[in-house]
Amino acid sequence: MGSDGGYDVMIMGVTSDNELAQSLADSLTQDGLSVWTLNTNNNSKSKGNILVASKVLVNILSEGSTSCQECEDLISLAYVSDTPIFPVARDCFPAINSRLSFSMKLILAKINWMFFTNEADRTENYPILLSSIQHAIEKVNLKSENGDGNEDVTDERVYVIKMSQDEEKIEVSDRPEFWENRLRGLSQVTWPEFRDAFIDEYKEQLKESFPEHRQKWLINIIYGDIFDLHKMITKKMYTDFCCGIENDPDNFYHRILDYALGLLAMRSVFDMESTVRLDAVQNLGQFKTRSVISTLTNLLNDNDPNMRAVAAIALGKTGVKNYKVVQSMIRKLSDEDRLVREAACISLGHMRAEVSVRYIVALWRGDTISHVRQAAEVALGLINSPASQEALRMTRVLSDEMNRLK
């Protein structure tokens, strides 16, 4: 185990995968890495917390593990927390792929699989796996030393494409990127025009990766989450979303795919039935990537009040307080669900968002639920600005005067 209490490698599978898992663990240990498996005697932490503290996840893919909800939840948590994932397949690709859920197919399709279906495969592929894991750990260590991921997230529409573990590079192409190819010379188009051009341009990729109802879901994400339901789509809106990767004519499509994957993974992690939900909430202060912050902010408007409340709590734990996050959280102070209102209060308090004081005061003085009023008072104390202290003082004076009149 590392000095920080985490492992270099977490190996996850089901009981029927134990032989391969232990063989991998023994080999990786001999090569100087600390490894956790199902056989490791460490009952003090949940699997979710062990994953968050570990540097990489090796997930054994087998016909058994594809039906394991815990394995799927851990892969989703790894994706959300930006933990490198190494799928090691014990069975052949068709047998595994046919059993994977839609979200797992999308996530794992972007990552190179390593096949250990027989002894010859193991002998040939283990050195490649070891080298890839060592390289990923070096990058994790470097990121930790440099403090990457802790910056204030001010760009609302920047998403990082998760490349395969061997850092596959996008080949330079002379083909025009999507807007130049389909909408050249136009500074703006209507949403239906943009939508139809996108569907026509990527019909083969969409057909291959998305069932018909999921294609509609993806289009709704583009319209609602990315373009905020604007009837006119400007080139500036498009290029602001696309910034980052050069020489990729399909940059927009790749970024949309990455956003959709992040949304699916986040929903899986925060679902009420998720086996890692509490671990994710407890550790989300560490997850400050732009895609996580943006996805959480959008989840504040989810139809499920539990999802809205969890998103509010998680955003508060990240400590990020850019304009969009704060304004979105303020709007949740008037949510119809009292747990969402409470979570928004406490999160704004932890953010020390002074701009929210007057809204929290209004909630404190007007909400019919005592728990919400108490959360508002706590939030004002946490913000601890002159305005919040004056609001606390004045309201208490008025309360005392009213009590004397009774």
The set of residues, in sequence order, having a beta carbon less than 8 Å from that of 185 and lying 6+ positions away, is none
User: What is the per-residue pLDDT for 246?
Assistant: 61
Q: List the single range of 184-198, 290-304, 357-371, 382-396 with lowest mean pLDDT.
A: 290-304
Mean pLDDT of 107-120: 88
Cβ–Cβ under 8 Å, residues 51 and 275: no
Which one-letter DSSP state was computed for residue 283? H
Rounded mean pLDDT of 200-210?
92
H/E element holding 140? helix 119-146
**pLDDT score recorded for residue 287:** 64
Question: Is 44 within 8 Å of 5 (Cβ atoms)?
Answer: no
Which pLDDT score, from 0 to 100, does residue 173 have? 54
With beta carbons less than 8 A apart as the criterion, state whether 262 and 303 touch. Answer: no
Specify the pLDDT at position 156.
Answer: 33
Q: According to the per-residue pLDDT averaged within each range, which of 95-104, 134-143, 336-345 is highest?
A: 336-345
Q: Return the higher-pLDDT residue of 385 and 317.
A: 385
> What's the token pair of residue 212?
């018909």
Mean pLDDT score of the chain: 84
| 9-146 placed in CATH 3.40.50.10140 | yes
- H or E stretch including 245? none
Place 126 in a pLDDT band, splitting at 50, 70 and 90. very high
pTM over 0.85, yes/no: no
Phi, psi of 57 (to 5 degrees): -115, 125
Superfamily (CATH H level) for 300-405 = Leucine-rich Repeat Variant (1.25.10.10)
Helix (H/G/I), strand (E/B), else coil: 190: strand
d(Cα 202, Cα 198) in Å, to the nearest integer? 6
Could you tell me the sign of the dihedral formed by the alpha carbons of 62, 68, 73, 74, in that order?
A: negative
Least confident of 109-113, 244-248, 330-334, 388-392: 244-248
Average pLDDT over residues 225-244: 87
- Domain 178-244 = CATH 3.30.310: no
The helix (run of H) or strand (run of E) holding residue 86 is strand 85-89
CA angle in degrees (0–180, nearest 5) for 373-377-382:
145
**Is residue 125's pLDDT more than 90?**
yes
Contact, 9 vs 54, CB < 8 A? yes
Q: For 331-372, what is each residue's pLDDT tens digit? A: 999 999 999 999 999 999 989 999 999 999 999 888 999 999
In this prediction, residue 151 has a pLDDT band, given cuts at 50, 70 and 90, of: very low
Q: Distance between CA atoms of 284 and 316, rounded to whole angstroms?
A: 9
Whole-number pLDDT of residue 4: 53
| Domain ranges, ordered by start, for the chain | 9-146, 178-244, 300-405
β-pair partners for 36: 10
Give the model's pLDDT for residue 379: 92
